[in-house]
Amino acid sequence: MSKQRFKAILESQKRPIIEVKEEGRRSDFFAKNVFNEDKMIQYLTKDALNSVKGAVFSGSKIDRKIADQVAEAMKAWAISIGATHYTHWFQPLTGATAEKHDAFFDLLPDGKALEKFGGGQLVQQEPDASSFPSGGIRNTFEARGYTAWDPTSPAFVYDTTLCIPTIFVSYTGEALDNKAPLLRALNSIDEAATAVARYFDKNVSKVNATLGWEQEYFLIDKALAHSRPDINMTGRTLIGNAAAKGQQLDDHYFGVIPQRAIGFMKDLEKECTLLGIPVKTRHNEVAPNQFELAPVYEEANLAVDHNLLLMDVMEKVADKHHFKVLFHEKPFAGINGSGKHNNWSLATDTGVNLLSPGSTPMKNLQFLTFFINTIKAVDTYEELLRSSIASASNDHRLGANEAPPAILSIFIGEQLGNVLDELEGVSQGKLSPEEKTELKLNVVGKIPEILLDNTDRNRTSPFAFTGNKFEMRGVGAKTNCAKPMTVLNTIVSKQLRAFKKEVDALIDTKNLKKDEAVFNVLREYIKTSKRIRFDGDGYSDAWQKEAKRRKLSNNKNCPQALRVLTASKTIALFKATKVMSETEIRARQEVELEAYILHVQIESRLFGELVYGYVLPATITYQNKLIKNVTGLKDIFGAAHRPLAGGQLSLIEQMAEHIATLKKMIDAMGDARKKANKISDTHKKAVSYCENVLPYFHTIRQHCDSLEKLVDDSVWPLTKYRELLFIK
Ligand code: ADP
Ligand code: MG
């Protein structure tokens, strides 16, 4: 065993359990470190408070004087709980969050020291942004990117830094981040959904998209994780023979959480509670060392920020508990990977969940309106929605029989399927009084208020209706939820606008009553969006064939999935909803493709390092030992040694074959990389990496894993699966 592997195992076995005391009732310290409404009431004048609330509710501008007041109040509050620095906290297109800390501390010209933070610093900053990906929007030499305050997500203090959520835009106003388009999409759906909700209730003046994510992750002992260059560099194991025991006994799922993990979770939940992240459930997942955390759902922008913040906080808390958190979608072969379900719905400012069936026919008609429009939107833009969850790492998980396939479809369950079938039979145009009564009482009225039990049976569906929300299940564990949420809210917004136009036209020109017009349009949508509905087994081969017949897209890899971003239909969609300009969308595609190329390139290089630096030397060491043994036998037995050394000779031969193949493959993969690197068109280059470089990974891995099985454990240098997994 290499010294490094031995030391890591020893260290991991000696970990003390870190006891964490639960601090009484969580509601007592919830959001203590957040500059939320409670603190604003305490620290702001009425005018300033109303101005911030106006900005949150309707996006109204906050003038500079008020911003100064808010900054002053934020500073006073932050310092009172120990903050010394502030930062604009933003989401560059790398997918992670970024921050640059500045001290409140400042010096006046006369040398007097003071703590300074004004409206100017609150509202806008110019980080040296030249190293963030921009897809060509911002010339690097200009380096001009601005962060601007997002008052809809409250500032918070983490450790000793006041963090101010911001958007990140170029000098010319184009989004360089994931938050700016999300805010525009949320604004767009607010407008569109409010207009439609007012058909049913004139009191509605705002609709918020809601998001409840469920974060899956792995915990690995820090020393063990660090002993593996692949985990360190790529967040996953590139090679590694499966442990004899994996998840086949199903003994981890919902099992007793290991003591060390409980300590980490308690600490994490304490931090989250202070930061206002409403964490609610924790449990073991399917694979050994895999866990899940889910909060109560929130307004989508806040929920996205909270998920990103959670991922940051998890890494820090894990470190304290001598763990490394893996968010990679497929850290270990042979056992389940990690996803992040996105539960989504729409909520009015009158307290109604628009995707929740109600107790009256009118409420149910409202439910059906939003339900069917969502189905129609997903049907029209299924390929775009698929693209929003595309990444190099998620390619390992989608369609691998543990996560939904790359084909988008919607599961609604038998009961609602029947309701839609009946609605489809409604006659066109005006309805007779009998027809209306029949519809209202026997079709719409029959939708039970609580569908929850009936609808959540199909875990293979990528987009399932679960009683009062839709659940998007293909989202990767690492993915910034802002991406799928931007697309989902944009497409539903576009759809609701079209719906409103059609309904209004029927009312105006055909003289239909409102509910008749609504029924008429919904009936057409049910007919035209049928192909997206699928209640069967999404993992089956039959579905792959059936989906093809239905002309649903099936983009199995990231470069393929990203193509649709620059289709004219996509550009028109983002333009019409004012979510992204053509420049912004093209830049995004460029950045995503670039990220794909870099990920595959890094992994490919690392394969070379692992094979030449670890696998081959260990194999040769053992092979030499065997050769020595065979030579020894020959010395003793002479020509009679052959039958005695049969096993050894065959092992020597097998190893020689693996060594030769590995050498050939690594060299050929290097050549494929060189060829791909010469391609200047980003999309073609990504395709080349996908089709000509990536396919080597699987075969190289197979040879390495076979060698791991053959070679003497005591010389194998890389920490094995059975040591990495199964924390106590
Ligand atoms: P699971 O998918 O593991 O069976 P549940 O169905 O209980 O879990 O719920 C999952 C998530 O749904 C929770 O994180 C919750 O916050 C979220 N959720 C519940 N209602 C809504 C809603 N109206 N909008 C968005 N998310 C919601
Ligand atoms: Mg779920």
Could you tell me the domains of the chain?
31-177 (3.10.20.70), 187-580 (3.30.590.10), 595-724 (1.20.120.1560)
Q: Tokens 């697309």 — which residue?
A: 487
Q: What is the mean pLDDT of the chain?
A: 91
**Residue 636 pLDDT > 80, yes or no?**
yes
| Residue range 447-491, pLDDT digits in tens | 766 565 555 567 899 999 998 999 999 999 999 999 999 999 999
The structure's pTM equals 0.95
What is the position in ligand 1's atom list of the atom closest to the CA of 356?
A: 23
In terms of Cα–Cα distance, which of 21, 20, 18 is closest to 321? 18
| 465 C-alpha to ligand 1 centroid (Å) | 11
**Residue 725 pLDDT > 60, yes or no?**
yes
Amino acid 142: pLDDT: 57
| 471 C-alpha to ligand 1 centroid (Å) | 8
Phi then psi for residue 719, to 5 deg, are: -55, 130
Q: Give the single-character DSSP code of 472.
A: E
Amino acid 130: pLDDT: 67
Strands 124-125 and 113-115: unpaired
In terms of Cα–Cα distance, which of 38, 34, 40 is closest to 52? 40
Q: Give the single-character DSSP code of 566.
A: G
From residue 122, give the alpha-carbon distance in Å to each of 67, 68, 96, 147, 466. Answer: 7, 8, 22, 10, 41
- Residues of the chain above pLDDT 90, percent: 72
Burial of 24 (0-12, 13-18, 19+ CB in 10 A): exposed
Best residue for ligand 1 mutational test, from 297, 466, 492 (most atoms within 8 Å of Cβ): 297
Are 252 and 719 in contact by the 8 Å Cβ rule? The answer is no
Tell me if residue 113 falls in helix, strand or coil. Answer: strand
Best residue for ligand 1 mutational test, from 343, 469, 473 (most atoms within 8 Å of Cβ): 343
The response to whether residue 353 sits with its C-beta less than 6 Å from ligand 1 reads yes
The answer to whether the Cα torsion of 146, 151, 153, 159 is positive or negative is positive
Q: Which of 167-181, 576-590, 605-619 has the lowest mean pLDDT?
A: 167-181
Are 475 and 167 in contact by the 8 Å Cβ rule? The answer is no
What is the position in ligand 1's atom list of the atom closest to the CA of 296?
A: 16
**Residue 613 pLDDT > 80, yes or no?**
yes
Q: Which of 24-33, 249-258, 458-467 has the lowest mean pLDDT?
A: 249-258
**Residue 124 pLDDT > 90, yes or no?**
no
**Residue 523 pLDDT > 90, yes or no?**
yes
The response to whether residue 342 sits with its C-beta less than 6 Å from ligand 1 reads no
What is the position in ligand 1's atom list of the atom closest to the CA of 344?
A: 25
Are 157 and 33 in contact by the 8 Å Cβ rule? The answer is yes
623 C-beta neighbours (distance < 10 Å), count: 22
Q: How far is the C-alpha of 151 from the C-alpha of 59, rounded, in Å?
A: 9
The answer to whether the Cα torsion of 120, 125, 126, 127 is positive or negative is positive
Look up residue 683 and give its amino acid.
Answer: H
The DSSP code sequence of 233-294 is HHSS-SS-PPPSSSSTT--STT-PPPHHHHHHHHHHHHHHHHTT--EEEEEE-SSTTEEEEE
| 344 C-alpha to ligand 1 centroid (Å) | 8
More confident residue, 172 or 412: 412
Residue 504's pLDDT band, with cuts at 50, 70 and 90, is very high
Phi then psi for residue 529, to 5 deg, are: -115, 20
Element (H, E) at 524: helix 514-528
Tell me if residue 162 falls in helix, strand or coil. Answer: strand
Look up residue 208 and give its amino acid.
Answer: N
Residue 360's pLDDT band, with cuts at 50, 70 and 90, is confident
Q: Which of 107-111, 516-520, 630-634 has the lowest mean pLDDT?
A: 107-111
Q: What is the dihedral of CA 25, 29, 30, 33, to 10 degrees?
A: -160
Residues in Cβ contact with 560 at an 8 Å cutoff, skipping those fewer than 6 apart: 687, 690
Hey, what are 382's tokens? Answer: 């299924």
The response to whether residue 458 sits with its C-beta less than 6 Å from ligand 1 reads no
The response to whether residue 211 sits with its C-beta less than 6 Å from ligand 1 reads yes
The response to whether residue 214 sits with its C-beta less than 6 Å from ligand 1 reads yes
| 213 C-alpha to ligand 1 centroid (Å) | 7
The response to whether residue 452 sits with its C-beta less than 6 Å from ligand 1 reads no
Residues composing the chain: 728
| 98 C-alpha to ligand 1 centroid (Å) | 28
**Residue 254 pLDDT > 80, yes or no?**
no
Q: Tell me the CB-side half-sphere exposure of residue 675, using CA atoms within 13 A.
A: 14
Nearest CA to ligand 1 atom 14: 212
Phi then psi for residue 339, to 5 deg, are: -125, -175
The response to whether residue 465 sits with its C-beta less than 6 Å from ligand 1 reads no
Nearest CA to ligand 1 atom 13: 212
Look up residue 700 and give its amino acid.
Answer: I
Are 561 and 555 in contact by the 8 Å Cβ rule? The answer is yes
Q: How far is the C-alpha of 406 from the C-alpha of 395, rounded, in Å?
A: 9
| Residue range 582-598, pLDDT digits in tens | 999 999 999 999 999 99
Q: Which ligand is nearest to the CA of 356?
A: 1
Phi then psi for residue 678, to 5 deg, are: -80, -15
Are 225 and 236 in contact by the 8 Å Cβ rule? The answer is no
Q: How far is the C-alpha of 105 from the C-alpha of 85, rounded, in Å?
A: 8
**Residue 347 pLDDT > 60, yes or no?**
yes
What is the position in ligand 1's atom list of the atom closest to the CA of 294?
A: 14
Q: How far is the C-alpha of 300 from the C-alpha of 660, rounded, in Å?
A: 53
What is the chain's Cα-based Rg? 29
Q: How far is the C-alpha of 654 from the C-alpha of 529, rounded, in Å?
A: 56
Q: How far is the C-alpha of 351 from the C-alpha of 208, rounded, in Å?
A: 10
The response to whether residue 343 sits with its C-beta less than 6 Å from ligand 1 reads yes
**Residue 128 pLDDT > 70, yes or no?**
no
**Residue 673 pLDDT > 80, yes or no?**
yes
